Structure 1
C-alpha cells in the first residue's frame, strides 16, 4: 500500500509483527518496529524520503562507509503517557547534533522539515510499539552512512539517512562499577569526540572489555594528553557530587554535548543545587573519596537516563562510594524529575516535551 503524505512516500507493512514480541523481556536494541524511514543524498540533494517495512539493505561492499567510516548517528526516545499520547524529549537538540556530527564528518546536513516530518510520521505509524508506563519507551536511532561506491580516500557524494525504532525498557538495571582510564583515550583535541561518529564507539570496546575482565562495567575516560582530567563515562556524560555540589566537565571538541547532561544541569540549577562546569582533576575525585566528601558519581545519557556508580578504580585501588538513601541521592532525584517530564506526569516548565500529534 503506497501513500504519499506531503513530501514522504509511505509503503505500509502488510502485517505487523508486534504480537510476536515479548515486551516484558526486551534486550536493548535487538527488536525493531514494523517500519523505517530512509532518504538518499544524490546529485547534491536529499531526495525520495520514504517510509517502508523494516528490512535489510542492499549495499555495495565498496560503499565508502565500510572503508572510511563516514557514519554518524543519534539516540532519542519517544514516550507514551497514561492517556496514550506520545511525546519526544528535546528532539531539536538531537536534530542539531546529528547535523553538527555530519558536518565534522564531511556529510551533507539533513533538512529540518523532512527530519521532523519523517520522524513524526514514522512514530504515528508504529505508535502501538510505544508502551505506556515508567521505564517503557521507544528508542529512536537516526543515522547517516556513505553509500557511494569506490575505495578512493575522499568524502562520498552519495549518502543514506535512516531512522529505525526499537522498543526499550531500562538500559542499566543497577549501579555500575567503573575504571578511570590511565592509558587509553576516547578522543583527542581537534578530533571528533564531540560528534556521534560511529568510530568513536568502536574504539571504546577494547579498553571497556579490559575493564570488564577486572569486574568493572564501564570506563571513565580521561584527557588524551596527560590522563589528568575526567571527561566521560562509557557512552555517557558523567557527574560528580562532592558534598552537596555537582561537578561535570565542560563540553569541547572531545566531549559530547549530551541532551541529558544539559537537562540535569538545568534541573540542578532550578533546585538550587550548586553546579560547577569546569575541568575536573582525577586527583580531586580521589582526594574527595579519601576524605569522605565524594557522595555520588553518575552517568547521564539518553539510553540509560541516569546510571549511578557504586565504585571506581584508579591505579589498581578501588574506591567504594558511600551508601545513601534514595531520598538523599541526586541521581534518584534527577532521574525522577526527568522521567516525570518525559512521561507527561509533571509540569514541563522548560518546554522540553514535544507532542507527536
Structure 2
C-alpha cells in the first residue's frame, strides 16, 4: 500500500504543477459564473413582475444549471486533476457531469429562441402557459442527464481495476466513442444552433420588413398599428437573445471543431503513426487549455448579456445595489418585459 502511495504522490504533484494555470483560470471562472448567475436568478425570482414572464423563468432555470456547473465542475476542478493519478469513481463521472450542465445550458437557449419566435410570429394567438414551460424545462433536465451519462450506463462502465481508465479512450472502443460523440454533438450543438438561427433569423427578417413597411407608410389602420407596435416591442426584446446566440457560436464553435479532429483523426491514422498522434495530442492540449476554457466562459458572460439588454433587469439590479437615481434614469422599464406577458 505504501509503495502505491509513493508512486502516486509525485504524479499528483506533477499534474497539479503542469495544470496550475488552467486550475487558477477555472477557479476564477467558477467564481464569476457563480456570482453572475446567482445575481440574475435572484433578481428574477425575487420580483413577481419578472417571475411572471415565461422566458425569464427559462433564464432562471438556465442560471441554476450554470450555478451547478460553477460549483461542481469549475470550483472542484483540482479534484479532477488529482483523480487522473488515482483509481476512483470521481474521474469517469467528471466529464459526463460537465456535459450534463452544458446540455442544460444549450437546450434552455434553444427553448428561449422557440418561445420568442412564437411570441413574435403569433403574438395574439399562441402563448405558452407556465405549466407548459414547467413541463418542457423538466424534460430538458431529465433528457440532459440521460444523454450525458449514457456512456457510463452502457459501454463505458466504471472499472476500478483499469488504472487511469477515464483519461484515455481504449482503442477498441474508439468506434463507439465516435458514434456517441457525433450523436451528442448533434443533440447538444447542431440542433439547438439550427433552431436558434432559424428563430432569430426570422425575427431579424421580420424586423427589417416592418421597418421597410413603416417607412412606406403602409400601415394606416389603428388595429394594424397596435399589432405592429406589439411586434416591435417583442423584436426589441429579442435583441439580447440574438447577441446570446452570436456569442454562443463564437465561443463554442472552435472547441467543437477541435474536439471532432481530436477524436476522429486517431481512428484514421492507426496506432503506429507517432507523428500524427503527437500532433493530435498537441491539438488536444490546445483545445483543453485554450478553446474549451473560452467556451466555458460563456456560462459567466451569458447573464451579463441578458442583464445589460433587459431594462427591467437592469433597473432591478440598480435597486438591488441601492442606486435609485440610476434606476430612475431607465425609461419605461415595464415596456420591455411586462408587455410580452400581455401578448
TM-score (norm: length of structure 2): 0.24
Relative contact order, higher structure (CA 8 A, sep 6+):
2
Between Structure 1 and Structure 2, the one with more helix by share is 2
Greater radius of gyration (CA): 2
Between Structure 1 and Structure 2, the one with more strand by share is 1
TM-score (norm: length of structure 1): 0.24
